[in-house]
Amino acid sequence: MASSGIAHNSRVEASKDQNYEELKKEHLRAKKLFVDRTFVYNGTVKRPKDISKTPKFISNGMTRADVVQGYLGNCWFMSAAASLTLRPQLLQHVVPPCQDFDCEYAGIFHFRFWQFGKWVDVVVDDQLPLDETGKTLKYGTSTDENEFWMPLLEKAYAKLKGSYEAIDGGFSKNAFVNLTGGIGELIKLRCCDPENLCKRAERALGRNSVMAAGILRESEEGLQGLFNLHSYSVTKIHKVTVEGKKMTLVRLRNPHGETEWTGDWSDDE
């Protein structure tokens, strides 16, 4: 799956007529934290400042290691978000700068997505769903427990689609379009010559496209550490020559943040 480029449409519309700057100023003046009445989660929620003593919106940049899937079948979105970290220019358009928990904090954040031929700015409060323990985030997290840009981005995307349940299952191609405004393409491996596929993938990455790969149907054969019905970020394609034989290696990242490929060229081989 791949999507290239970013739609250069400077106009950004406020989703649900919620203007981020106006709402933030209003709540700073009132010295109140923003509560989004248009997107309510029916469960236990806490703000990052109630979860971490030192919350950070972004800690040491945005990387693919920041993207860890939680108790939601949205690997298709998480793998796309992880791939986007390899293209900082794209990611910074989706995740606007100058957002944090220190200066002028009002409990409000915003993100941009491409929908129906235009960029929309989605505002969210920072109340995040917790699991049954009431202490740990239920959905997306970061490997750094004090960093929150990823769960807030996930919440904004859930709001764009209507609910967290609405993003429980989908295709990375669609997430890439929402994240870039580019053109999405789905390539089925059984319908594509392997050599031609590698060339297409290399050309796509050379054009700064972002990619993901996944297993779209149940299979019990040859998974070797991969999961059925799961999506992975494509983070690199590398050619090597071994004993005179040219080979192409594809590096994948599991949005769960654990469980690796166990076949040839794995850590144990």
CA gap 55, 68 in Å, rounded: 17
CA gap 35, 243 in Å, rounded: 62
CA gap 113, 179 in Å, rounded: 6
| Catalytic annotation, pick one of 74, 75, 93, 110 | 75
| Catalytic annotation, pick one of 27, 93, 110, 230 | 230
Known catalytic membership, residue 191: no
Known catalytic membership, residue 230: yes
Check: CB of residue 154 under 8 Å from CB of residue 74: yes
Check: CB of residue 263 under 8 Å from CB of residue 243: no
Which tokens is 231 given? 């999506």
Q: Would you list the DSSP string of the chain?
A: -EEES------EEEGGG--HHHHHHHHHHHT-----TTS--SS-EE-HHHH-SS-BSSSSS--GGG-B--SSS-HHHHHHHHHHTT-HHHHHHHS-SS--SSTT--SEEEEEEEETTEEEEEEEES-EEB-TTSSSBSS-B-SSTTB-HHHHHHHHHHHHHTSSGGGSS--HHHHHHHHHSSEEE---GGGS-HHHHHHHHHHHHHTT-EEEEEE-S---SS-TT--TTEEEEEEEEEEEEETTEEEEEEEEE-TTS-----STTSTT-
Catalytic residue numbers? 75, 230, 254
